[in-house]
Chains A and B, each alone.
Chain A
Amino acid sequence: MSSPTARYPVCKVEDLKSEGRIITTVKGVEVGIFSVGDRYYAWRNMCPHGAAPVCEGVVCGTRLPSLVYEYKYGREQEILRCPWHGWEFDLTTGRHLVDQDVKLRGYPVEVAEGQLYLVM
């Protein structure tokens, strides 16, 4: 049986905006909170590949699929790269860019009066 969900205050929106990301522990689980534009995402700090602390990775853009010898840059600040093997995850969906079946575990985030809450 899963335990009932509750809202946990994790940080102030302005702190997240100024620090770029916040890694915190909720119910014994390490979670990284990210903001992309004006939306917020929370991902478990555990890479599905080799269990690296994935949320400590670089937040960046990437080269988009293109024609041979063409380079197109995009998705600035929407990609999280694992600090170990460099797997690229879409911060907005948690999915690996190459293998859509590989996903970060995510949690809903709610905002009220400048405070971010994690629903777990």
Chain B
Amino acid sequence: MAKPRIIDADVHNAIAQPKDLLPYLPRAWHSYWLSAGPAYGGGWVSPISVLRKDAKTDDGGMPGSDPHYMLKHHFEKYGIDYGILTGSGILGISVNPNPDYANVLASAYNDWLIETWMKASPVYKGSILINHSDPQAAAKEIDRMAKHKDMVQVIMCSASRMLYGQRFFHPIYEAAERNGLPVAFHPGTEGRGISGPPTPSGYPTSYFEWHNILPINYMAHVNSLVCEGVFEKFPKLKVVAIEGGIAWLPHLMWRMDKNYKGLRDQVPWLKRLPSEYILEHIRLTTQPIEEPRNSEHLNQILDMVDAGRTVMFSSDYPHWDFDNPRMALAPIRKDLRSRILADNAMELYGLQDVPDSSPLATESSEGGVRP
């Protein structure tokens, strides 16, 4: 069978109408959901909106809300074999002040995802949404949903009250490792709900300013995961840092390695250089890929982070900062490009063959036709 050519590691599937979630949500929470939605408040307004203006569905519905339209408008158009669905408008439930509400919403969303998206096409692979502010409940949800073979990772928002290496979160990592799933985090809710301000010195003024600085939260989480020994405790765990950028990582790795030489005795459980844990356990996604004036600089950065094993293509469809796989990766060296477009995600998510609905699936590599 043919191997995938493009796997998109960040595709946003939206809930078309709030009422669509009701069949999956306990009755006690119906009116709350209908009146308040995910309710994690705040946020910065983008002058051009977060959703692509050209991605409304055929009947004028919200971008990302129709699995069949998305197949045409995104997957077929760019020859994408698999998309990892990362949700939309509901990722931040972990920073809602009420953990009971967040727990039922996570479960309702996951059940809805299976019924609505997983059943629509085998190109869709799901992320199990969890509420990270209740790690015990999150671990249960992981065990419950991991039975579905189309759920290929765990996802939570990157906004948080606490840094992700801390022991409070370890039940989540334990459950993910037990089920053989990576844990991903996704930006967009920094500074909202009960999370800390998006910078250590408080709140940026504009969406522009806020969006520029999202990677600092990623630096903080990755640093914490390594230093707190998460990867010693859970040696099979992989963590996917979605949409947080790439170019900051060499800086962080070098700084951590340098400090480790002098300050190692504060983290005696670390057996290797911090950068080695990072390259083995952290995976990054491309979008929004950095666009330096001299594109050779991008290749240099990719080499510094060993992108041939750590970086996966993502488009962020249908969000405003969408990356077109044909254009966005053009500056990247050929040998790296195919690893980034498909191979790294194939290995991480175990997606070895193109799905049955792909045009490639009907012809074997020898030229014969499959039964």
Question: How many A residues are at the interface, by size bracket?
Answer: 10 to 19
Task: Kindly list chain A residues whose C-beta atoms are within 8 Å of the C-beta of B323.
Answer: 50
CB distance from B47 to the nearest CB of A (A): 7
Which single residue of chain B is at the shortest CB-CB distance from A54? B54
* B69 close to A (CB within 8 Å): no
Stretch in B297-305, B324-332, B350-358 with 4+ CB within 8 Å of A: B324-332
**From residue 254 to 308 of chain B, which have CB atoms closer than 8 A to chain A?**
none
In Å, the complex CA distance between A84 and B323 comes to 9
- How many chain B residues touch A (CB < 8 A): the figure is 14
Contact present for A58 and B327 (CB under 8 Å): no
Residues of chain A within 8 A of B324, CB atoms compared: 50-52
Question: Which of B53, B321, B326 has the largest count of A CB atoms less than 10 A from its CB?
Answer: B53
Tell me whether B328 and A83 are in contact (CB under 8 A). Answer: no
**B 21-57 to A, binary, CB cutoff 8 A, 1 in contact else 0:** 0000000000000000000000000011000111100
Query: With a CB–CB cut-off of 8 A, which chain B residues contact A56?
Result: 53-54
Give B48's nearest chain A residue, CB to CB: A86
Residues of A within 8 Å of B326, CB to CB, are 51
User: What string of 1s and 0s marks CB contacts (under 8 Å) between A59-84 and chain B?
Assistant: 00000000000000000000001011
CA distance A41 to B363 in the complex (A): 46
The minimal Cβ–Cβ distance linking A50 to chain B, given in whole angstroms, is: 5
Q: Nearest chain B CB to A97's CB is how many angstroms away? A: 13
> Could you tell me if A84 and B327 are in contact, using CB atoms closer than 8 angstroms?
no
Are B320 and A85 in contact, with the CB atoms below 8 A?
yes
What are the interface flags for A35-57 relative to B under an 8 Å C-beta threshold, 1 for contact and 0 otherwise? 00000000000000111110011
Q: Are A58's CB and B53's CB within 8 A?
A: yes
Binary contact track B306-348/A, C-beta < 8 Å → 1, others 0: 0000000000000011111011100000000000000000000
Contacts of B52 in A (CB 8 A): 83-84
Shortest Cβ gap from B53 to chain A (Å) = 4
Query: Given A50-B327, A50-B328, A51-B327, is A85 in contact with B321 using a C-beta cutoff of 8 Å?
Result: yes
For the complex, give the distance between the alpha carbons of A53 and B55 in Å: 11
Contacts of B55-94 to chain A: CB distance below 8 A: 55
What's the least CB distance linking B46 to chain A, in Å? Answer: 8
With A50-B327, A51-B326 known to touch, is A86 a contact of B320 (CB < 8 Å)? Answer: yes
Tell me, rounded to whole Å, the shortest Cβ–Cβ distance linking B254 to chain A.
31
Which chain A residues lie closer than 8 Å to B321 at the CB level?
A: 84-85
- Write the nearest CB–CB distance from B49 to chain A, whole angstroms: 9
Interface string of A10-46 (1 = CB under 8 A from B): 0000000000000000000000000000000000000
The answer to whether A52 and B54 have CB atoms under 8 Å apart is: yes
Give chain B nearest CB distance to A62 CB in angstroms. Answer: 9
Select from chain B the residue with minimum beta-carbon distance to A56: B54
Contacts of B54 in A (CB 8 A): 52-53, 56-57, 83-84
Write out the residue numbers on chain B whose beta carbons fall within 8 Å of the beta carbon of A84: 52, 54, 320-322
Q: CB < 8 Å: which of A50, A85, A86 contacts B47?
A: A86
What are the residues of chain A within 8 A of B328 when measuring CB–CB? 50
Residues of A within 8 A of B55 (CB): 83
Which residues of chain B are near A52, meaning CB under 8 Å? 54, 322, 324
**How distant is A80 from chain B, measured CB to nearest CB, in Å?**
11
Most-contacted residue by chain B among A52, A84, A85, A86 (CB, 10 A): A84
Contacts of A85 in B (CB 8 A): 320-322
B320 and A57 contacting across the interface, CB-CB below 8 Å = no
Chain B proximity of A78: nearest CB distance (Å)? 17
Assembly CA distance A81 to B328 (angstroms): 19
Given contacts A57-B53, A83-B52, A86-B320, 9 further A-B contacts (CB under 8 A): A49-B327, A50-B322, A52-B54, A58-B53, A83-B53, A83-B55, A84-B52, A84-B54, A85-B320
Task: Name the 9 nearest CB pairs between A and B, nearest first.
Answer: A83-B53, A86-B48, A83-B54, A56-B54, A50-B324, A50-B327, A51-B327, A84-B322, A53-B54
26 residue pairs bridging A and B, Cβ less than 8 Å apart: A50-B322, A50-B323, A50-B324, A50-B328, A51-B324, A51-B326, A51-B327, A52-B324, A53-B54, A56-B53, A56-B54, A58-B48, A81-B48, A83-B53, A83-B54, A83-B55, A84-B52, A84-B54, A84-B320, A84-B321, A85-B320, A85-B321, A85-B322, A86-B47, A86-B48, A86-B320
